Amino acid sequence: MKRVYLLLGGILLTAAAIALWSATRSTSWNEAEIATLRGLWIGSLPALPPDPSNSYADDPQAAEFGHELFFDTRFSSNGEVACATCHQPELMFTDGLPLAQGVGTTDRKTMTIIGTAYSPWQFWDGRKDSQWAQALAPLESAVEHGGTRTQYAHLIDKFYRDEYESIFGPLPDFSDPERFPTSAGPVDDPTARAAWEAMTQADRDAVTQVYVNMGKAIAAYERLIMPAPSRFDQYVDALLKKDKQAMRAALTADELAGLRLFIGRAECIKCHNSPLFTNNDFHNSGVPTAQGLPLDDGRASGVLKALNDEFNCLSQWSDAGENDCAELRFVTSEGEQLEAAFKPPTLRNVAETAPYMHAGQFSALEEVLAHYNHPPISPIGHNELEPLGLTQREMEQIIAFLRTLSGPLNVSPELLQAPQ
Amino acid sequence: MKKQQLNVILTAVVTTIIVIVGFVLLMPIIGPRYLHPMMMGDQPAPSNLDTSATRTSYAGLFNVSWSADSGEPPLNQIHSWTLHVETADGQPVEGATILVDGGMPQHGHGLPTSPQVTEDLGNGDYRVEGMKFQMLGFWEVRFNISADGQSDSITFNLILE
Kindly report the pTM of this predicted structure: 0.90
Shortest Cα–Cα distance, B54 to chain A (Å): 25
Query: If you count residue pairs, one on A and one on B, with CB atoms under 8 Å apart, how many are there?
Result: 106
What's the average model confidence in pLDDT over B129-156? 97
Spatial neighbors of A392 by CB under 8 A, at least 6 apart, are none
The predicted structure's pLDDT at residue A22: 64
Q: Are the CB atoms for A314 and A135 separated by under 8 Å? A: no
In whole angstroms, give the CA distance from residue A242 to residue A234.
Answer: 12
Nearest beta carbon to residue B41 from set A39, A265, A333: A265
Pairing outcome for strands B150-160 and B97-104: unpaired
Question: In the structure, what pLDDT confidence band is assigned to residue A31 with cuts at 50, 70 and 90?
Answer: very high
Q: Is B70 part of the contact surface with chain A (CB cutoff 8 Å)?
A: no
Question: In the structure, what pLDDT confidence band is assigned to residue B10 with cuts at 50, 70 and 90?
Answer: confident
Chain Cα centroid distance, residue A64: 22
Residue A244: CB atoms within 10 Å: 11
Q: Is B88 part of the contact surface with chain A (CB cutoff 8 Å)?
A: no
The predicted structure's pLDDT at residue A10: 74
CB contact under 8 A, B75 and A331: no
Of residues B137 and A27, more confidence is placed in B137
What's the average model confidence in pLDDT over A86-99? 98
Q: Per mean pLDDT, which range of A189-198, B29-38, B124-133, B138-147 is the poorest? A: B29-38
A234-242: long-range contacts at Cβ-Cβ below 8 A with a sequence spacing of 24 or more? A235/A259, A235/A404, A236/A37, A236/A38, A236/A40, A236/A41, A236/A43, A237/A41, A237/A43, A239/A29, A239/A34, A239/A37, A240/A34, A240/A38, A240/A41
What's the average model confidence in pLDDT over A12-22? 71
Q: Per mean pLDDT, which range of A13-22, A56-65, A220-229 is the poorest? A: A13-22
Chain Cα centroid distance, residue A238: 28
ipTM for the assembly:
0.90
Terminal alpha carbon distance of chain A: 83
DSSP A352-409: GS-SBSTT--BSSHHHHHHHHHS----SSS----------HHHHHHHHHHHHTT---B
Tell me how many degrees the CA angle A273-A274-A278 measures, rounded to the nearest 5.
55
Neighbouring-strand partners of residue A105: A101
Question: In the structure, what pLDDT confidence band is assigned to residue B108 with cuts at 50, 70 and 90?
Answer: confident
Instruction: Please report how many Cα atoms fall inside a 13 Å half-sphere around the Cα of residue A310, on the Cβ side.
Output: 8
Neighbouring-strand partners of residue B116: B129
Q: Are the CB atoms for A355 and A361 separated by under 8 Å? A: yes
Name the DSSP letter for residue B157.
Answer: E
What's the average model confidence in pLDDT over A112-133? 98
Nearest beta carbon to residue B29 from set A8, A19, A264: A19
Q: B143-161, pLDDT tens digit by residue?
A: 999 999 999 999 999 999 8
Shortest Cα–Cα distance, A353 to chain B (Å): 24
The predicted structure's pLDDT at residue A9: 73
Neighbouring-strand partners of residue B64: B55, B85
Q: Are the CB atoms for A332 and A282 separated by under 8 Å? A: no
CA distances from A262 to A68, A204, A257, A347 (A): 39, 51, 9, 12
Looking at chain B from residue 16 to 55, which residues have their Cβ under 8 Å from any Cβ of chain A?
18-19, 21-23, 25-26, 28-29, 32, 36, 38-42
Instruction: Please report how many Cα atoms fall inside a 13 Å half-sphere around the Cα of residue A274, on the Cβ side.
Output: 21
Shortest Cα–Cα distance, A119 to chain B (Å): 9
In whole angstroms, give the CA distance from residue A219 to residue B34.
Answer: 52
- R_g over Cα of chain A: 25
DSSP A329-354: HTB---SGGGTTBBPPPP-TTGGGS-
CB contact under 8 A, A264 and B41: yes
CB contact under 8 A, B130 and A265: no
Terminal alpha carbon distance of chain B: 69
Which chain A residue's Cα is nearest to B32? Answer: A265
In whole angstroms, give the CA distance from residue A2 to residue A22.
Answer: 30
User: Which of A21, A280, A330 is the mutation pick for testing B, counting most B CBs within 10 A?
Assistant: A330
In whole angstroms, give the CA distance from residue A395 to residue A400.
Answer: 9
What's the average model confidence in pLDDT over B16-28? 75
The predicted structure's pLDDT at residue A24: 58
Q: Is pLDDT of B33 > 80? A: no
Shortest Cα–Cα distance, A271 to chain B (Å): 7
Q: Is pLDDT of A173 > 80? A: yes
CB contacts, 8 Å: B134 with chain A? 271, 273, 279-281
Q: B42-76, pLDDT tens digit by residue?
A: 567 788 899 999 999 999 999 999 999 989 999 99
CB contact under 8 A, B32 and A265: yes
CB contacts, 8 Å: B15 with chain A? 4, 8
Q: Is pLDDT of A40 > 90? A: yes
In whole angstroms, give the CA distance from residue A392 to residue A372.
Answer: 12
The predicted structure's pLDDT at residue B27: 66
CB contact under 8 A, A11 and B115: no
CA distances from A242 to A20, A169, A257, B30 (A): 23, 54, 19, 30
The predicted structure's pLDDT at residue B47: 81
Which is nearest to A386 in space by CA: A283, A280, A277? A283
Q: Is B115 part of the contact surface with chain A (CB cutoff 8 Å)?
A: yes
The predicted structure's pLDDT at residue A25: 55
Nearest beta carbon to residue A267 from set B29, B41, B129: B41
Of residues A298 and B40, more confidence is placed in A298
Q: Are the CB atoms for A407 and B58 separated by under 8 Å? A: no
CB contact under 8 A, A15 and B25: yes
